Structure 1
Amino acid sequence: MSQQGPILIVSHRESHALAALADVKTFPMIEAGWPEAADAIARLNPAAVIASDIGGNESALSRLAQQTAKAAPYLPLIALDPGAALPPTALPFTRTSQNPQRLVSRLNAALRVRSLHATLLRRLPNNRASVSMPTGDPLDDATILLLGRGGSYPALSVALGERMGVIGALSIEIAARHLNARELDGIVIGDGFTPRVVDAFLTVLSEDSRFRHLPVVAANGSGLAANYDLPNLEIVADDPPVVAAHACPLIRQQAFEARIIRALKSIDVGGLLDPRTGLLTREAFARDFETAVVDTQTRGSGLSVVRIFFARGEVTERMRLDAARILSRLMRRMDFATLDETGAIVVVFPETDLRNAHGIGRRLASVLKHTMYNAKREQRLDPQVALATLMPGDTASSVISRLHSEAHRAAS
């Protein structure tokens, strides 16, 4: 991977992991002691910072984390064996004495995010569609999968749920369903599974390119191998708050990468996609829908529209965005959709009659019901579906008006 600067090593002595990094001879490395670290970052503009010998330097590590968090493009800070003293933006790397070569993979994964961010920053000034990145903490719209059925599961759920969206899975089969149905920003594995089951699950993740770079944090590493091809795997056998503290920086990085990818896709198509959802912007949807209606009327073919909404319970903005992102993965290539001003998802099915559209809409609603993030776990999610089909003499506005009327009747 091309480097935009050296790797800054902050340490008083060489560790096994740092020696493994030096052996690769891919990265230009510069060493600095803890007192000089902040000045070295300002002078050298490194591509990444790796901090070792953290014991006794916790406050200095916290200041480094604040400094690197303000850098652009993204400047990863990796803390080796940080213990409980881990700043929220510092990536943990534990068990450095076991398979220290993992640090090379961890660093490459972080540098990949930096490279993507640099690409986005380079393209933003030249994009004519005024695509912008959300400015809040990426954890605000991160969603993770929590596996477990043991005693630590409730505490892990609370510790993680205070900072991000959490979807629970009591079995590997349920976890697989979520992984295939939606995008996730990380996986946390609690107790309740045998080492053999966890080993098989990690092996499957490492063999699938869709999941290989996901952050995976295992709260119990007993009996696990150390050579999974998972660059962001961490084994943290500690209390739930410490597990959550180690998981958060890795999940934040993954959520940040997802934001960048959505923004780049939006730029690629001239700003037609909403970088928050991956669906069409409302303006682009209105233009495409009007064109589709005229084309369908001319050819005499079919066209149906589905509106998926939540009439019951409290649905937060994060939940609506989560539903939209799930739906963006499930639609056929010919379909297009948007998140409207009421928070409902409107999907257009070209070449589809009302009966087939009804079946597709119900299946989409069912997937949302069972896979989307729910801020209140005791609240039952019940997506409602309203349908309208193109009739002779219809216009785009008349179809949308009829769709809203159907939605009002479905909700009452």
Structure 2
Amino acid sequence: MSQQGPILVVSTARRPPFAAALDAAKLFPVIETEWTDSARAVEQVQPAAVLAAPSATNEAELAELAARVAARQPYLPLVAVDPPAAIPDNVIPFFQSQDAQAQQGGIDRLVGRLRAALRIRSLHATVMRRLVPAAPMTLSQIDPARDATLLLVGRGGAYPALSVALGERIGVVGALSIEAAAKHLNARDIDGIVLGEGFSLRVIDAFLTVLTEDARFRNLPVVVTVGDLAPTYDLPNLEMISGDASNVVATALPLVRQHAFEAHLARTLKAIDANGLIDARTGLLTVEAFERDFASAVYQTQQRGGGLSVARFAFDPDHPRAQFDGARIISRLMRRMDFGAAQEDGSVVVVFTEADLKTAHTIARRLSSVMRHTSHGRRDTPSDPTVSVATLLPNDSAKSLRSRLQEDGRRVAS
């Protein structure tokens, strides 16, 4: 990819070793500065990315630098190499391996992480250029508890602690086996993986190898909390750490938020390509576009014959995150000829074209079964929707079909 600007390296007076890695990777120009000048250098240099080597004595300077970086558009990645325990939310951590044999792999991983972040910057710049009217869109607008989903894989004594600690900050999908984790990866949008204890090194190695070989997951944040594996996989956002659950959260959360921001940008670009007919947050149609297409689909079905059914997925109104996660699952799994939209009452309505009542029930059951395994928020509230299905009758209109769907939904809920 083309270089978007200089790379700003912030450290003490001594040149950090990773700066030489940037030269070797031809990520230039590389401009170095000390902590006292770092915030001003961001304004003067206009970098494409910032790499910092903070220590416990640089916490105040790191916080000021992070604030300057967060205010810039397009997205300016800030990567902290071997950061202290507490870092600002927009700082991406990177931990160097202490194993001499793995140091070259660590350098490659740092370069890969930087390249992945620069691709997000390019995507953000594209969205900003095409978005009309212009609107601010920053990483700080991504709330992990609302917009991101993390896959927690593991079993054993540490699993409950990880589940609680992560569930306080982000939507969590749990998997007690690698096979279950693979199903979740194929069925839903995942913004990161935490791999806990309960698996042999051979199983962990095989899982990471599969992620490496699948282009869909290569840039996915992955945090491994157990094992003695060297981070030599071609996964730029891989971290292998030890420690309590709070350390896992501190490492995973910035990487997951960055991935959720990338996914949001991709949906926004898709919405722009669709002339604003797609909701950038859910990936489904906007309410206005849905109502127009629904009325047209009912009319054409009545004129030409065939089948048409509608399903309504009603979620707990006290947990709005469940609706949006359900909408994203539906957007990912529904058939290409179907369409739907998130409604203001907290439900999601999906139209199944060329589908009779039996087929619609089968599709709706499959979609709802995937949603049941997602938990949200501090109390791990499951996304278990109430589903009602109605099919088009000969004397139906779009209004009467929707009215009957609402009535069926009330009867199911009661």
Q: Structure 1 length as normaliser, TM-score? A: 0.93
The one-letter code matched in structure 1 to 2:389 is L
Q: Aligned pair in 2 of structure 1 residues 3, 300: CA closer, same or farther (>3 Å)?
A: same
| Number of the residue aligned with 2:200 | 194
Give the 5 Å matches for 1:7-406.
Answer: 7-11=7-11, 12-95=13-96, 98=103, 99=105, 100-125=107-132, 136-139=141-144, 140-220=146-226, 222-310=227-315, 315-370=318-373, 372-375=374-377, 382-406=384-408
User: Following TM superposition, by how much is the alpha carbon of 1:254 offset from its aligned partner in structure 2, in angstroms?
Assistant: 0.6
The one-letter code matched in structure 2 to 1:385 is V
**Aligned structure 1 segments of 4 or more residues deviating by more than 4 angstroms:** 130-135, 376-381
The one-letter code matched in structure 1 to 2:55 is I
The one-letter code matched in structure 1 to 2:119 is R
User: Following TM superposition, by how much is the alpha carbon of 1:240 offset from its aligned partner in structure 2, in angstroms?
Assistant: 1.5
User: Cα deviations across residues 198-244 of structure 1 (Å, max 9, x unaligned)?
Assistant: 11111111111111111111112x33132211110011112221221
User: Cα deviations across residues 15-55 of structure 1 (Å, max 9, x unaligned)?
Assistant: 33222211112332111111111111011110000002534
C-alpha distance in 1, partners of 2:162/2:139? 28
Asked if the contact 2:168/2:378 (under 8 Å) is kept, the reply is: no
The one-letter code matched in structure 2 to 1:109 is A
The one-letter code matched in structure 1 to 2:405 is L
The one-letter code matched in structure 1 to 2:313 is I
Q: SS in structure 2 opposite 1:229?
A: coil
User: Following TM superposition, by how much is the alpha carbon of 1:83 offset from its aligned partner in structure 2, in angstroms?
Assistant: 3.3
Asked if the contact 1:219/1:237 (under 8 Å) is kept, the reply is: yes
Higher mean C-alpha displacement, 350-359 vs 395-404: 350-359
User: Following TM superposition, by how much is the alpha carbon of 1:132 offset from its aligned partner in structure 2, in angstroms?
Assistant: 7.9
User: Following TM superposition, by how much is the alpha carbon of 1:150 offset from its aligned partner in structure 2, in angstroms?
Assistant: 2.8
Gaps (5+ residues) in structure 2? none
Q: Aligned pair in 2 of structure 1 residues 133, 290: CA closer, same or farther (>3 Å)?
A: farther
Q: Aligned pair in 2 of structure 1 residues 269, 109: CA closer, same or farther (>3 Å)?
A: same
Asked if the contact 1:76/1:110 (under 8 Å) is kept, the reply is: yes
Q: Aligned pair in 2 of structure 1 residues 323, 125: CA closer, same or farther (>3 Å)?
A: same
C-alpha distance in 1, partners of 2:80/2:376? 33
Q: Aligned pair in 2 of structure 1 residues 131, 243: CA closer, same or farther (>3 Å)?
A: closer
Q: Aligned pair in 2 of structure 1 residues 62, 279: CA closer, same or farther (>3 Å)?
A: same
The one-letter code matched in structure 1 to 2:397 is T
User: Following TM superposition, by how much is the alpha carbon of 1:4 offset from its aligned partner in structure 2, in angstroms?
Assistant: 2.7
Q: SS in structure 2 opposite 1:345?
A: strand
The one-letter code matched in structure 2 to 1:269 is A
C-alpha distance in 2, partners of 1:397/1:117? 40
User: Following TM superposition, by how much is the alpha carbon of 1:125 offset from its aligned partner in structure 2, in angstroms?
Assistant: 3.0
C-alpha distance in 2, partners of 1:86/1:405? 51
C-alpha distance in 2, partners of 1:133/1:386? 38
How many residue pairs get aligned? The number is 406
C-alpha distance in 2, partners of 1:239/1:54? 21
Q: Aligned pair in 2 of structure 1 residues 154, 2: CA closer, same or farther (>3 Å)?
A: same
Higher mean C-alpha displacement, 256-265 vs 53-62: 53-62
The one-letter code matched in structure 2 to 1:3 is Q
User: Following TM superposition, by how much is the alpha carbon of 1:314 offset from its aligned partner in structure 2, in angstroms?
Assistant: 6.1
Gaps (5+ residues) in structure 1? none
C-alpha distance in 1, partners of 2:377/2:250? 20
Q: SS in structure 2 opposite 1:101?
A: helix
Q: Aligned pair in 2 of structure 1 residues 382, 322: CA closer, same or farther (>3 Å)?
A: closer
C-alpha distance in 2, partners of 1:376/1:196? 33
Work out the percentage of aligned pairs sharing the same amino acid: 56
Higher mean C-alpha displacement, 397-406 vs 94-103: 94-103
C-alpha distance in 2, partners of 1:384/1:403? 12
C-alpha distance in 2, partners of 1:56/1:379? 41
The one-letter code matched in structure 1 to 2:319 is T
Asked if the contact 1:9/1:30 (under 8 Å) is kept, the reply is: yes
Q: SS in structure 1 opposite 2:110?
A: helix
Asked if the contact 1:131/1:275 (under 8 Å) is kept, the reply is: no
User: Cα deviations across residues 159-214 of structure 1 (Å, max 9, x unaligned)?
Assistant: 22221111221211111111111001111112222222111111111111111111
The one-letter code matched in structure 2 to 1:256 is F
Q: Aligned pair in 2 of structure 1 residues 132, 25: CA closer, same or farther (>3 Å)?
A: closer
Asked if the contact 2:167/2:379 (under 8 Å) is kept, the reply is: no
Query: What's the Cα RMSD here?
Result: 2.1
Asked if the contact 2:167/2:380 (under 8 Å) is kept, the reply is: no
Q: Aligned pair in 2 of structure 1 residues 293, 135: CA closer, same or farther (>3 Å)?
A: farther
